[in-house]
Each structure stands twice: as structure tokens, then as C-alpha cells.
A and B are shown apart, each in its own frame.
Chain A
Amino acid sequence: MAASGQTAFTLPAPPFELPFLPPLSGSWTVTIGAQGQYQPDFEGAKASMLSAAPIFSIHRAGSADPFRSPLDSASIALIDFGDLRAGPAAKFVPARLQDGHPELFGLGDVNAALELGGFIEYFPVDWFRLRNETRAGLGGHRGVVSDFTADFIVPVTRGITISGGPRFAWESTDAISPYFSINAAQAMATGLPMFNAMGGAHSAGAGMQVKYQINPQWEVHSFVEYERLLGDAANSPLVTVRGSVNQTTVGIGASYSFDVKIR
């Protein structure tokens, strides 16, 4: 996000400081906004739904955000050489609930999962990024997920940036099975054949994003991400009979940034 060029508020410093944490005094940039996206109801679904999410960030004024792709999980670079960055990453995977989705009736719910792991990204040149995130699940699945992305980042003008590139995901059996396997009881309840989903290549696709920084305060962005399910995710009867291997997500958002000075 761009930093705002004008200080909107001045706030007093807190009466005390916490040890080991930097002081709050100085200029901070607050970014607020919203993003709407149209995405599959669940992974493998044929139908899509519209959802909205808030955008909020706060950082030191002018701190330059590194490039972010829509698929990036929340992450912190604990190793930062500039062109090579690495650190922990986390992603929340919402629960898959059968209520409201007739194609899931009889399969039962899959709890929400928290995926924890790490990321590494490398910029061989300023306009190209390679990134891998590998995360292990807790909760809804206990498998391992590894996402590979490559993005060409093309600044068109000082305000407009277009980026995009290929994507590939690998998942272990424990990560795929809760969502795509069908056991005997589920087969009886759904009429679908039994299926034992094994790990491997999970999806491949491509994505593209456009960002337009209108001025130091306002920024709008839009993206499209397409993935085609592969391996046993694509072979599951849930997908072959009731769903689709083609998964497309489209999003659009806007944000406003302003500075806050803490004295």
C-alpha cells in the first residue's frame, strides 16, 4: 500500500512502554478498505458465491510493502536479504459445512483448519518473484500443503502495476483426504462411490492482478485466479459427479491510507 502524504491525526503517546517492543512514537500509516470476491462455494464446487472482507493494515509511515499476490498467506520475513526473504507463514482455512450446499449432504462437515509453516521467496530481478509456502494443517486437516507461485511484476506507470504468473499446489494425503475422500458411510448417505483420495499434485493454474494507486491515499486493485484441480482432487466423485475441476476466483477492492502521528 502507498503511504499517505498527509498527517490526519496526532495522538498522545501511551503513558508507558512495553519492554522489548519499539516505542510507538512517530508517524504511522493506517490503511482501511474492503475487498469483494466471487469464488467457488468450496474447493471443487461448480457454483460460486460472493463474499466480502475488510482490508486493514498499520505500519510505519512510508514503509514499503513488498509485492503481494492474492494467494499469499499472512507471513513475516525474519530473513530479509532484499531479493531473498523467508519466514513463518499462516493461513486460515474455513470450515466446509454441508448446510446450504446440497452437493455436500451426507458428507458431513470438515472443521476449520489452521495451516502453519514457512515461506521463501526470491527476486532474481526486480520484476519477477518466485515463492513457495509450505504449511502443515491443524484442525480440519493434518496434512502438508505446498504452494508454488511465480509472478511477473510489470510497472506500467508510477501508479499502475500489473502482475501475474503460473501457480502449482502439492498436497499430502492427510491434507486432501478430509475434503475429497468418500468413505463407506458417506457413500451410503450420498449415493456417490467410495473413494480414497491420495496426496500428490493438487492444482495448477494462473493468476493476474492489477493495482492502481490513484494518489498517495487511494488505491484500487482487481485480480483473477484460475486453478484446475489435479490428481485425486480432480478424480474424486465429489468433483467428477457434482463439482468442477475448474476453480476461478475474481476479486476487486479499494483502500484508503492516512497517517497518524503519535507524539
Chain B
Amino acid sequence: MHDNVRCASVAAVIVLALSGGASAMFESRDTKLQAVKTVGIISAIGDQFTLARAGLTGLDNSSRSFTISSWGLDDLIIQQATAALSGRFQVKPVSYQRAVFASIEESPIKAVELVRGDPFKKLVKTEVSPQGLDAYIVITKAQANLGGGRGRKVEGIGLVTYRAVLESYSQLYALYEIRIVDGKTFDMIEKMAAAPLDNAANVRLPGPSRLVDENLSIGAGDAGDENMHRAIVDLIVRSLPITLSDMHLR
């Protein structure tokens, strides 16, 4: 009888230990986020605007870029994210080298990405002050294939013009991704790319984008183009709260 009770107790302890281990192993993002009280926001989507061509291009289909640092997109993102997150978290100002975060490029070889791990975790540990916040929200440019028969990639902020036999059309995009990095362990709690907005027509880009149509005329196509500036700001302002919400940060 005593042996049976002892066996049952041992079994119960083992089951509890295993279930505890399993729950730790399969701990959900929400569980991890519940412990987060203070966050710092890092934005480095870069200050480059890319003009790309796709579809029936000539042999030289290289892209052209110009600086849009005067648009202050990263400051806008921090401001918007702070406003969105302040209800739930204490958002602390942080300092970091924006150019260092913006210069990180995704490796085209998946195995390299797996071996080296996410470079932003290391940067949060070495390049951000103050350390010791519960989590850091890192917002950087995202990369995407153009798809639809095109062997091209675009990233960050830009405009792609598709040339077809009977028409040509352009699409503005603001591709970015958000990471939540644990401020103590520097593990990645979550990473998500901003999704297309619901009103996007015939979406071909996996991120916020919109067609250039009669409602949006592009002028000079440079940093001085206010319509283009406003359209990009609109994409970011509308998509950022949705993405933060999808990550259960709001």
C-alpha cells in the first residue's frame, strides 16, 4: 500500500516536473510579454528611397536610390510607436547608432542566417543604452520578393514601376519589420513584418503598399516630392498600430 502511494507520489512529481518543463519550453509570447513593464524603441528603417523597375525592363534594370533623411521617418515611427504603446508599457528613451542598425543586411543563404543568429539581438546588447529595460522594440526595413514572375527583391521605402505590354503602373511601399527583444536574455520574443493594408488592390508586395493612381500623383520623384512623402507617412501611420496590435503589444 505504502509502495503504491510512494509510486503515485513519484509519478505525480515527474508529471508536474515534465509539465512545468514543457510549459517553459512552449511558453507563449503572451506569457513572456506579461512580464514586460519597461520598453525602449529603436527605429532604423533607413533614410534611402529606392526607385525600381520590374516587368518588361531593359537589360539594365538596376535600381536608383536617393536620401530621404529630411523626411524624419524614424523619428515619426518612434513617436507613433510610443503613443501606441504608452497605455500598456513604460516607454523609456534609448540612444543607439541608427546607421549601425540600418546597415544590417539579411543573408540570401538561409543556413547563414541560422548559424549566425539574428544580428539585431547582438546589436541591442552592445549598441543600445540604457541596458536593463524589460524589452526593446526594434523596427527595421524588411525585404520582399516582387513575385509575379520577377526575380527581384525590394526593401525598405521605395517605388517600383511595373512595365507590361499594354500598360505600366507604379506601387509605393514601406516594408518594415518589428522585433521584440528580451532586455535581460536578449532572446527574440517575436518578429513580424508589417502586413499589407486591407485596401491594397492586387497586392503583390508583402507589406504596406499602395498603387500610384489618380488619387496620388507623383511629381519629381525625389526627396522634395511632398505627395510621395505624405503617401509614405500615411502607409506607416496606418500600418504601425495594426502591426503592434498583431504582435499583442497593444
- Chain B interface: which of A31-39, A139-147, A155-163? A155-163
Knowing A23-B29, A153-B149, the reply to whether A158 touches B164 (Cβ < 8 A) is yes
Point out the residues of chain A lying under 8 angstroms from B165, CB to CB.
154-157
Interface residues of A in 179-221 (CB under 8 A from B): 213, 215-216
Taking a contact as CB atoms closer than 8 A, the residue among B110, B151, B198, B206 that contacts A123 in the complex is B151
A127–B56 CB distance below 8 A: yes
Is B61 in the interface zone, CB < 8 Å from A? yes
Interface size on B, residues (CB 8 A): 55
A102 interface residue per 8 A CB criterion: no
A67 touches B196 (CB 8 A): no
The answer to whether A2 and B151 have CB atoms under 8 Å apart is no
A154 to B195, CA, bound (A): 28
Give the distance in Å from the alpha carbon of A15 to the alpha carbon of B27 in the complex: 9
Contact A126 B57 (CB under 8 A): yes
* A158 and B169 contacting across the interface, CB-CB below 8 Å: yes
Q: Is B84 an interface residue (CB 8 A)?
A: no
A62-B195, A62-B200 known; A82 and B152 CB under 8 Å?
A: yes
Known: A60-B206, A126-B57. A158 touches B200 (CB 8 A): no
| Interface of chain A residues 16 through 31 with chain B (CB within 8 A) | 16-19, 22-23, 25-27
Given A62-B195, A62-B207 in contact, is the A158-B26 Cβ separation under 8 Å? Answer: no
Q: Mark A214-242, 1 if CB is under 8 A from B, else 0.
A: 01100000000000000000000000000
Q: Which B residues lie within 8 Å of A78 (CB)?
A: 109-111
Assembled-state Cα–Cα distance A33/B191 (Å):
31
Q: Is A91 an interface residue (CB 8 A)?
A: no
Given contacts A2-B203, A83-B152, A216-B203, contact A126 B108 (CB under 8 A): no
A143-B153 Cα distance, complex, nearest whole Å: 36
Beyond the given A63-B147, A64-B144, A83-B151, please list 9 additional residue pairs across the A-B interface where CB-CB is below 8 A. Answer: A62-B200, A62-B203, A62-B204, A64-B145, A66-B147, A82-B108, A82-B153, A125-B61, A157-B166
A-B pairs, 10 with minimum CB distance: A64-B147, A123-B151, A82-B153, A62-B206, A67-B149, A153-B149, A155-B164, A62-B196, A16-B26, A27-B195
8 intermolecular pairs with C-beta atoms under 8 Å apart: A15-B28, A19-B26, A25-B29, A25-B246, A26-B195, A61-B195, A82-B145, A126-B55
